[in-house]
Chain A
Amino acid sequence: GDSVTQMEGPVTLSEEAFLTINCTYTATGYPSLFWYVQYPGEGLQLLLKATKADDKGSNKGFEATYRKETTSFHLEKGSVQVSDSAVYFCALITGGGNKLTFGTGTQLKVEL
């Protein structure tokens, strides 16, 4: 079945540091890929998405490129802020419908 593997957390960075959160996937067919963010006490918010190979999703300074050859969708941000502290989930969908398969989540803590 489909699966998503993301790097273990927590990740602790200083403000303005570079962020990379690794995500790889296994899927039948051609999945669409997503990054969601969850702030404390909240539901999930879509951060960015990519629907085909070589697509780059971007939002709020975050970027991720759909790499079919390495089955990866790593999240990056050039300069993190304290307000980026949250849990980040990589996810995919294959086929029709809205069944999202999530990774385990990576907690990010940004300190001053």
Chain B
Amino acid sequence: KAGVTQTPRYLIKTRGQQVTLSCSPISGHRSVSWYQQTPGQGLQFLFEYFSETQRNKGNFPGRFSGRQFSNSRSEMNVSTLELGDSALYLCASSQGTGGLYTEAFFGQGTRLTVV
């Protein structure tokens, strides 16, 4: 069974640009969550999508957005990039059925560097 796939693995962008990151969950999983990992703030929850609907949202500015497609693949977008957006962005997938927690499987992450 293939794991969670995040693309690209590494990305370098310039301040003010926008970026789109992609996550393909494990087959059959309907929930996809996104996290930002930085040395200063640690792991912070961005948002969760379940069956194409945002189910939970963290405390990030509106520059951070996401969506989920009918095949459960998810994308997150960051507009008007700032230096502080440099981070490892992790995606996690789970079955997520019935609103109950099921084990989350994480991808290897996308390392975003903003210069």
Contacts and interface: CB of A to CB of B under 8 A. Distances in A.
A3 B108 CA distance: 25
B58 A100 contact: no
A7 to B, nearest CB: 14
Interface in A83-112: 89, 93, 96-105
Given A93-B101, A100-B45, A45 B106 contact: yes
B66 interface: no
A42 B6 CA distance: 12
B94 A98 contact: yes
B107 A43 contact: yes
Interface string B21-52: 00000000001010100000011110010100
A17 interface: no
B92 A98 contact: yes
A44 interface: yes
Interface of B: 4, 31, 33, 35, 42-45, 48, 50, 55-56, 58, 90, 92, 94, 96, 99-109
